[in-house]
Amino acid sequence: MLTAELINYNIPRLHLEDTVSKALQLINDFKVTHLPVVSEDKFLGLISEDDLLDAEDEKLPVQVLEEYFVAASVADNEHFLNAVNCCNQFETTVVPVLNKEKQLTGVITVTDLLKALGSFSGATEIGGIIVLEMERSQFAISEISRIVESNDSAILHLNTTTHPLTGLLTVTLHLNNKEISSIVSSFKRYEYDVIYYFGDNRFENELEGNYKHFMNYLDI
């Protein structure tokens, strides 16, 4: 999915001659943290609510705050995940989208990004989730897929993250089947470290975890 497909054309843009008061009112009306500033459609940057509130006089034009403009944007032909990264990096609720002439075509809101992420990650699809932890050298997609498929299931989505302290790889599997007890057993049989799993047997999973914590507490 490209950024151009997620553009929200309802969020207004500011011009240099617009007053700080007007900018603050628009930010409040549209429930955003930043608004884009343009000069004849050329994108100049984002201005934040915090910087507007720090202005000496709300009657002043936005231009007086130009040094605080944030140069955060994505091109209209980029993958939408780049907009997610931009949103995280600059801590903004809107991401400006520019054409090849560096003109502002619109913005992507954080709400639309979350919806796109939900669809992209399969969060809206019904199925079980299994989370594995392993050394990076142990990670083999082919073997993980084989274990899942041998239990008449399929991987809808797979995501990996690295623990910042241990360096261990966390592998999250979203499966097309909520009955995952046999798959969990298979992973354990092949000596995979299953740290979480959620499906129809989520209550058994929680009960087992609580039991282990209780036994550790008793030092048994």
Q: What is the pLDDT of residues 142-198, one digit of tens each?
A: 999 999 999 999 998 898 999 888 999 999 999 998 899 999 999 999 999 999 898
DSSP 61: B
Residue 198 C-alpha from the chain's centroid: 21
User: Quick one: 145 and 47 in the same domain?
Assistant: no
- The parts of the chain modelled with pLDDT lower than 50 are 202-208, 210-211, 214, 217, 220
**Final residue in a domain of this structure, among 91, 118, 145:** 118
Q: Please tell me whether residues 105 and 192 are part of one structural domain.
A: no
CA proximity to 182, closest of 209, 200, 157? 200
CA atoms within 13 A on the CB side of 55: 24
pLDDT of residue 120: 76
Q: pLDDT at position 90, please?
A: 95
Q: How many CB atoms lie within 10 A of CB 9?
A: 8
- Chain Cα centroid distance, residue 155: 21
Alpha carbon distance 217, 220 (integer Å): 8
- CATH of residue 84's domain is 3.10.580.10
Q: How far apart are CA 8 and CA 148, in angstroms?
A: 40
Strand intervals (E) in the chain: 14-15, 34-39, 42-48, 74-75, 94-98, 104-109, 129-134, 155-162, 169-175, 193-198
pLDDT of residue 119: 78
Entry pTM: 0.68
Strand partners of residue 60 = none
Boundary of a domain, candidates 101, 118, 135: 118
Give the domain extent around 133: 125-218
Instruction: State the pLDDT at residue 212.
Output: 52
pLDDT at 211: 45
Position 204 scores a pLDDT of 45
Which of the listed residues 118, 147, 169 is the one where a domain comes to its end? 118
Number of structural domains, the chain?
2
